A and B are shown apart, each in its own frame.
Chain A
Amino acid sequence: MREFHYRRPARVSDALALLGTDPGARPLAGGTNLVDLMKTGVERPALLVDLRDLPLDRIEATPDGGLRIGATATNSDLAAHPDVRRRYPALAQAVLAGASGQVRIMATVGGNLLQRTRCGYFTAPATTTACNKRAPGSGCAAIAGEHRNHAVLGATEHCVAVHPSDMAVALTAFDATVTYETADGTGELPLAGLYRPVGGTPHLETALPTGALITGVVLPPAPVAAASRYRKVRERASYAFAIGSLAAALDVRDGTVRDVRLAFGAVASHPWRARRAERALTGGPADATAFAAAADAELAAARPLPHNGHKLPLLRTLAVAVLTELAQEAAR
């Protein structure tokens, strides 16, 4: 770990000033990803701007029935929040499926969205292996190497890493918006637009302007979200990253799908909103055949690597199983 400077501003404007003046500055929130990567040498900040004292940790209902989540609200506070559990249960489940109790208490919502991939070629310390994300232009060792848990959707020959977040999968399904500030003012991005396509520049991960600080996430009102679920499959029963995951919400009336939300996790460089599947389902029957057909429609675009083709039947199973459960619960 390299020597660095440390500041803990009390105001967002001060934080922005610090982040804007030093290109080596990084915001520090929970530190669960950043400090880890500083130890492996992937991150070498010259200045850490600690966000702890900023007033960005509140979770509150919006007048329209949505939810505003401060960027430094912790994962565990988010998962425990009554409004989240009641109105967006898949979000609470997604958060609870991530990492461990300790990590969730430290980690923050903003940090969760910006966490880096867990691809072993990216995180390996002092490695000589190629990684375009860590060392642009060096290549991607995972494509010819170990990629069992890598992307099946949206990847390119430059990078096949997946985004590791569970929380972001549920937020994506619920059309969350990310709010940010820069020295020039405030801005917002739909979460789906926060992550750049991999293309040829996998090291450029987000569309945030330089020096921007995520201030929060806004969830629009979504009645469908009250009947939602997150399912995650991993190589351990807990404390492991996903092989595949699904956030789903379903509104069924009289056997017909009125509204549906689907997002896959651990399949791409960002949470994968399954809009094709949603379109296929909306207005149609809520049965297993339709659910399977919708999953297949979404996964038709998948381009699995030699050793991760198992993700496709897994995601199909998850989609059918979770939507069937939600449909059965709606029928009760």
Chain B
Amino acid sequence: MTAPTSSVITLHINGEPHTLTVDHRTTLLDALRERLGLTGTKKGCDHGQCGACTVLLDGRRALACLQLAVATEGRAVTTVEGVADGDRLHPVQQAFLELDGYQCGYCTPGQICSALAVLEEHAAGWPSAVTADLRPEAGPPALTDDEIRERMSGNLCRCAAYPAIVRAVARAAQERPGESGTVAA
């Protein structure tokens, strides 16, 4: 059998379609970085163990290093390059910037994409491992610092900017439209 080991696919990234031939071995991460010039998404471990390559797939966070490019066809990808609205930073980005939610900056794109998704997941009522009352009737848990820490734990930061990252996510959470019930304890 001589079936191909590459495919022509169209990737939808930050609202733009990109048609390219990908080697099946190519991860979404490498396709973004090596083929499409979108190097904002970082390779920290290449094994799903650090979160530096976090992107949004159909609005949900995913690890681009474990996502094969060929398997991404038909899905909408948002990378850190697509988070800001033109020159206007997203509130999450603005909070990271102003509160120094980083040091070397290498894990930052992943932290930011993850934070965006955390706010969405929380708004959707998803519980976490530190949510005391799982019953759906209990409603979304208050987005405490402990909730943020647990939900962001898939994003390692070797500079250990964790305290400032948590502050940045908490601030962005409070700035969400209609936000009133969050607790920054």
Contact = CB atoms under 8 A, between A and B. Distances in A.
Contacts of B7: 6
Given A93-B129, A102-B63, A106-B67, A4 B24 contact: yes
Contact of B127 (A5, A36, A85, A239): A85
Contacts of A96: 127-129, 131
Residue of A8, A79, A100 with most partner-chain B CB within 10 A: A100
A265 interface: no
Contacts of B134: 85, 89, 92-93
A236 B153 CA distance: 10
B3 A5 contact: yes
Contact of A101 (B4, B23, B61, B68): B61
Contact of A80 (B47, B125, B135): B125
Category for how many chain A residues contact B: 35 or more
A263 B136 CA distance: 25
A4 B5 contact: yes
A86 interface: yes
Contacts of A253: none
Interface in A101-158: 101-103, 105-106
B27 A5 contact: no
Contacts of A182: none
B51 interface: yes
Interface stretch (B94-102, B116-124, B163-171, B174-182): B116-124
Contacts of A52: 71
Interface in B94-147: 114, 117-118, 121, 124-129, 131, 134-136
A97 B27 CA distance: 27
A260 interface: no
A238 B150 contact: yes
Contacts of B70: 6
Interface string A63-86: 000000000000010011010011
Contacts of A100: 51, 153-155
Contact of A102 (B1, B5, B154): B154
B42 interface: no
Given A4-B5, A239-B153, A76 B126 contact: yes
Interface in A213-260: 236-239
Contacts of A4: 5, 24-25
Nearest to B61: A102
B125 A239 contact: no
Contacts of A50: 71
Contacts of A106: 62-63, 66-67
Contacts of A184: none
A261 B7 CA distance: 49
Nearest to A1: B25
B129 A102 contact: no
Contacts of B153: 100-101, 236-239
Contact of B60 (A6, A105, A237): A105
B24 A35 contact: no
Contact of B136 (A3, A31, A82, A239): A82
A191 interface: no
A35 B156 CA distance: 20
B43 to A, nearest CB: 12
B112 to A, nearest CB: 13
A67 to B, nearest CB: 14
A307 interface: no
A11 interface: no
Contacts of B126: 76, 79-80
A102 B127 contact: no
A97 B7 CA distance: 37
A99 interface: yes
B47 A39 contact: yes
B63 A32 contact: yes
A19 interface: no
A1 B25 CA distance: 7
Interface string A1-42: 111111010000000000000000000101110011001100
Interface of B: 1, 3-5, 7, 23-25, 27, 46-48, 51, 54, 60-63, 66-68, 70-71, 114, 117-118, 121, 124-129, 131, 134-136, 149-156
Per CB-CB distance, the 3 closest pairs between chain A and chain B, nearest first, are A100-B154, A238-B153, A82-B136
18 contacts: A3-B24, A4-B5, A5-B1, A6-B7, A28-B68, A40-B47, A52-B71, A89-B134, A93-B129, A96-B128, A101-B61, A101-B117, A101-B152, A102-B63, A102-B114, A103-B48, A105-B61, A238-B129
Interface of A: 1-6, 8, 28, 30-32, 35-36, 39-40, 48, 50, 52, 76, 79-80, 82, 85-86, 89, 92-93, 96-97, 99-103, 105-106, 236-239
